[in-house]
Chain A
Amino acid sequence: AQSVTQPDIHITVSEGASLELRCNYSYGATPYLFWYVQSPGQGLQLLLKYFSGDTLVQGIKGFEAEFKRSQSSFNLRKPSVHWSDAAEYFCAVGAGNAGNMLTFGGGTRLMVKP
């Protein structure tokens, strides 16, 4: 069965600093990979996705992620964090019987210091 691990439950960075959120997955085939962001009390917004092709994918709000098959990782990065980026970030892999059940990691809560 597929699984997703986000090793960091909480991360605090200063505004303007760079950010990297880690995501490791376990899946037998080529995965579909996603990063979503959730603000408090809100639903999930898609940041970016990887299906195939270029392993470095660009998303919204200045985020990017790199798929590394050898490390089973799909880490999310941003060169300069803004205070409005404070939220919870979820990595997910698409799998399942019909190939479209999303399995989520436990999430990483990002706090931004002024």
Chain B
Amino acid sequence: NAGVMQNPRHLVRRRGQEARLRCSPMKGHSHVYWYRQLPEEGLKFMVYLQKENIIDESGMPKERFSAEFPKEGPSILRIQQVVRGDSAAYFCASSPLPAGETQYFGPGTRLLVL
């Protein structure tokens, strides 16, 4: 059973460009979570999604960031008009059930904004 997959593993963007980060959950998992890790810090929750629904986006910046988890295909975290402060590692996690269930993490996408 393949683990959580994220691509790309590394992404370089210039200021003002768009970044698209993809996450394929583990087989059988329908709950996806995105976290951001700034340099030398712990992970911070961004958003929790189920298929076609955003359940909790309390950690998402109000502007430029959006997330989706369509009926078919991977979950996408989209960052428009990136700025240098967006440089971070973005981790996706998935779980088979909601509340309290273990989350399994992907290897992360490291975004560098020049």
Residues of A within 8 A of B107 (CB): 42-43
Query: Which of B33, B56, B99, B107 is most buried by chain A, counting CB atoms within 10 A of its CB?
Result: B99
CB distance from B21 to the nearest CB of A (A): 14
The answer to whether A46 and B43 touch across the interface, beta carbons within 8 angstroms, is no
Residue of B nearest to A90 (CB): B42
Q: Does A34 contact B (CB under 8 A)?
A: yes
Contact B45 A98 (CB under 8 A): no
**Count of interface residues, chain A, beta-carbon cutoff 8 Å:** 26
Q: Using an 8 Å CB-CB cutoff, how does the interface string of A24-49 with B read, 1 for contact, 0 for none? A: 00000000101010000111111001
Count of B interface residues, CB-CB < 8 Å: 29
Contacts of B101 in A (CB 8 A): 100
Bound-state CA distance A49–B95 (Å) is: 14
Query: Beta-carbon contacts of B82-94 to A below 8 Å, as 1s and 0s?
Result: 0000000001010
Contact of B16 with A by CB under 8 A: no
Complex interface: chain A residues within 8 A of B103 (CB): 100, 102
Q: Are A44 and B99 in contact (CB under 8 A)?
A: no
User: In the complex, are the beta carbons of A94 and B100 less than 8 A apart?
Assistant: yes
Cβ–Cβ < 8 Å partners of B93 in chain A: 44, 102
Which one of A44, A51, A100, A107 lies within 8 Å of B105 (CB-CB)?
A: A44
Residue contact A101 to B105, C-beta cutoff 8 Å: no
Chain A residues with CB under 8 Å of B33's CB are 100-102
Sample 29 A-B pairs with CB under 8 A, ordered by A number.
Answer: A32-B100, A41-B110, A42-B108, A43-B107, A44-B43, A44-B93, A90-B43, A94-B100, A96-B45, A96-B56, A96-B58, A97-B56, A98-B55, A98-B99, A99-B100, A100-B33, A100-B48, A100-B95, A100-B98, A100-B99, A100-B100, A101-B33, A102-B103, A103-B45, A104-B35, A104-B43, A106-B42, A107-B41, A107-B42
Tell me the B residues contacting A by CB distance below 8 Å.
Answer: 4, 31, 33, 35, 41-45, 48, 55-56, 58-59, 91, 93, 95, 98-108, 110
